[in-house]
C-alpha cells in the first residue's frame, strides 16, 4: 500500500489545468504537505523526448497505435521513476494528465477500442490509478480560443473541433462511470474560484 496521495488533473485543451495544478501545489506546500507537481507526456528525461515526438506538428504521419504506445511508454517511465517513489515518501503527487487522457483522446477521440487500450494500460501501469481525479470541463470552442491566445500549436491543437468534442464527451462519460474517483469542476469560472473549489475537494480527500 502506497503512503502518499495521487491526484490527477484532466480536461481538454485550454481549461487552465496547468495554472490550477500550480496553484494547488503551492496551496498544499503552504499547508505543510510535500507536494510534487508533474505532468504527462513528460515528467522524466525520457518522457520529455517522447513528448517531443508526440507533439511535433510536423509528425502528421504518426499512426494512432504508435501514438497510443508512445503515451504508454512515457507513462510507464513516469510512474516508476517519479510517481511511485514520491508516493512511497508520503508525498501528495499532482499530475497534469494521466491514464484518463489516453482513454479520452486515443479511445473516445481516435476511436481505439477502450478494452484494448485498458489492456495496454495494464502493461504500462498495472492498473495503478489516482486516488482522486479532477476533471476540468469546458466548452471546446472556448478552450481552443484560449489556447490560440497563447499561440500554442501542437499536433492536437491542429485537430478539428469534432475531435475535441469527442474527447470532451469521452471525459464526461469516464467521470459518469467513476463518480467516486472523478470530480468535475466547471472551468469557465474565474481562476481563483476554480482554485478554491479544487482546494476544497483535495483537502476533503486528504483529511479522510
Ligand atoms: P500539453 O501541451 O501538455 O497539453 P495541455 O496543456 O492541453 O495539457 O499536450 C499534451 C497533449 O497530449 C494534449 O493535447 C493531450 C494529449 N494527450 C493524449 O492524447 N493522450 C495522453 O495519454 C496524454 C497524456 C496526452
- For the chain, the structural domain boundaries read 5-206
Distance 208 CA to ligand 1 centre (A): 31
| Closest ligand 1 atom to Cα of 18 | 6
- Quote the pTM value: 0.96
- Mean pLDDT score, 134-155: 88
Cα Rg of the chain, angstroms? 16
Digit-coded pLDDT (tens) for 23-39: 999 999 999 999 999 99
pLDDT beyond 50 at 62:
yes
Residue 77 grid coordinates: 517511465
Q: How far is CA 156 from the centre of its chain?
A: 14
Question: What confidence tens digit (pLDDT) does each residue in 157-202 have?
Answer: 888 999 999 999 999 999 999 999 999 999 999 999 999 999 999 9
CATH domain 5-206 topology? Rossmann fold (3.40.50)
pLDDT in tens, 65-117: 999 999 999 999 999 999 999 999 999 999 999 999 999 999 999 999 999 99
* CA distance linking residue 44 with residue 120, whole number of Å: 20
- The 10 Å Cβ neighbour count of residue 66 is 13
Kindly state if the Cβ of 17 falls inside 6 Å of ligand 1.
yes
Confidence band, pLDDT 50/70/90 cuts, at residue 1: very low
pLDDT of residue 155: 83
Does 102 contact ligand 1 (Cβ within 6 A)? Answer: yes
Could you say which DSSP state residue 205 is in? H
pLDDT band at 2, cuts 50/70/90? Answer: low
The number of residues in the chain equals: 208
Output the CA–CA distances (angstroms, integers) from residue 123 to 27, 31, 88, in the order listed. 34, 36, 21
Residue among 101, 112, 114 whose CB has most ligand 1 atoms within 8 A, to mutate? 101
Amino acid at each position: 500500500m502506497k503512503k502518499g496521495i495521487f491526484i490527477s488533473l484532466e480536461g481538454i485543451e485550454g481549461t487552465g489545468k496547468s495554472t490550477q495544478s500550480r496553484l494547488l501545489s503551492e496551496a498544499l506546500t503552504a499547508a505543510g504537505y510535500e507536494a510534487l507537481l508533474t505532468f504527462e507526456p513528460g515528467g522524466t528525461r525520457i518522457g520529455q523526448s517522447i513528448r517531443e515526438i508526440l507533439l511535433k506538428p510536423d509528425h502528421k504521419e504518426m499512426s494512432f497505435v504508435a501514438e497510443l504506445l508512445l503515451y504508454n511508454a512515457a507513462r510507464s517511465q513516469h510512474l516508476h521513476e517519479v510517481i511511485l517513489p514520491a508516493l512511497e515518501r508520503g508525498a501528495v503527487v499532482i499530475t497534469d494528465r494521466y491514464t484518463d487522457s489516453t482513454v479520452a483522446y486515443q479511445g473516445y477521440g481516435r476511436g481505439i477500442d477502450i478494452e484494448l487500450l485498458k489492456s495496454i494500460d495494464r502493461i504500462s501501469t498495472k492498473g495503478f490509478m489516482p486516488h482522486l481525479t479532477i476533471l476540468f470541463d469546458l466548452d471546446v470552442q472556448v478552450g481552443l480560443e484560449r489556447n490560440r491566445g497563447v499561440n500554442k500549436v501542437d499536433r492536437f491543437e491542429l485537430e478539428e473541433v469534432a475531435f475535441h468534442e469527442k474527447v470532451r464527451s469521452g471525459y464526461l462519460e469516464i467521470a459518469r462511470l467513476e463518480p467516486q474517483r472523478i470530480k468535475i469542476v466547471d472551468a469557465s469560472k474565474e481562476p481563483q474560484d476554480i482554485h478554491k473549489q479544487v482546494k476544497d475537494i483535495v483537502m476533503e480527500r486528504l483529511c479522510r
